């Protein structure tokens, strides 16, 4: 478990945590994938994550360290499970590739889709992993 104060938000699924000893670590929210910088939905996702965690005490239940050296984990601001909240509000996709068995995250995305919240208000939202792909085809964004 990591605990500290959020001192930065990079995008809708990444933040910077300052630990009690002053060390700063990068955190990637486990099991979600928010829209990329130049993608529809990126700004609302970043703004919401900022409102939830910036300059606030945050706890991270670490699951892994990714290839970029970021801690990947479940993020909590007070009692709020931030990863779930971002999905529930339609601000990110459930990243099933890394969290396929997480029923809490699956349900949060399912409800947001059904309600047409956030990215799900679009006729054809594009998964960030497809958006990132250099060789994507036009129809690769259809989910």
Average pLDDT over the chain, rounded to an integer:
91
Give the per-residue pLDDT at 87. Answer: 98
pLDDT in tens, 84-130: 999 999 999 999 888 888 999 999 999 999 999 999 998 888 787 77
Checking if the pLDDT of 19 tops 90, the result is: yes
**Residue at 43 is within a domain:** yes
Kindly report the CATH number assigned to the domain that includes residue 53.
Answer: 2.40.50.90
- List, in sequence order, every residue forming a beta bridge with 72; answer none if it has no partner: 28, 64
**Residue at 140 is within a domain:** no
Contact 25, 71 (CB under 8 A): yes
User: CB neighbours of 106 closer than 8 A, spacing ≥ 6?
Assistant: 94, 96
Closest CA to 32 of 117, 77, 116, 89: 89
Residue 95 sits in which domain range? 2-135
**Residue at 109 is within a domain:** yes
132 vs 62, more confident: 62
**Residue at 22 is within a domain:** yes
pLDDT > 90 fraction of the chain, expressed in percent and rounded: 77
**Residue at 143 is within a domain:** no
pLDDT in tens, 6-15: 999 999 999 9
Is residue 112 packed enough to be buried (19+ CB in 10 Å), middle (13-18) or exposed (0-12)? buried
Count helices and strands in the chain by DSSP H and E runs: 5, 8
CA distance 129 to 2: 27
Asked whether the whole model's pTM tops 0.85, one would answer yes
**Residue at 105 is within a domain:** yes
**Residue at 96 is within a domain:** yes
What amino acid positions are annotated as catalytic residues?
A: 28, 36, 70
**Residue at 66 is within a domain:** yes
The tally of domains found in the chain comes to 1
CA distance 27 to 36: 16
CA distance 135 to 23: 38
């Amino acid at each position: 478990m990591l605990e500290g104060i959020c001192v930065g938000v990079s995008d809708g699924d990444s933040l910077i945590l300052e630990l009690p000893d002053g060390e700063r670590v990068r955190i990637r929210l486990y099991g979600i994938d928010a829209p990329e910088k130049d993608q529809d939905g990126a700004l609302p996702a970043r703004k919401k994550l900022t409102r939830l965690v910036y300059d606030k005490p945050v706890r991270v239940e670490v699951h892994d360290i990714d290839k970029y050296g970021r801690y990947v984990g479940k993020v909590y601001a007070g009692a709020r499970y931030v990863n779930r909240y971002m999905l529930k509000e339609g601000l990110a996709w459930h990243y099933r590739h890394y969290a396929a068995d997480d029923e809490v995250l699956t349900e949060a995305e399912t409800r947001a889709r059904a309600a047409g919240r956030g990215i799900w208000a679009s006729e054809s939202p594009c998964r960030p992993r497809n958006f990132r792909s250099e060789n994507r085809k036009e129809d690769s964004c259809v989910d």
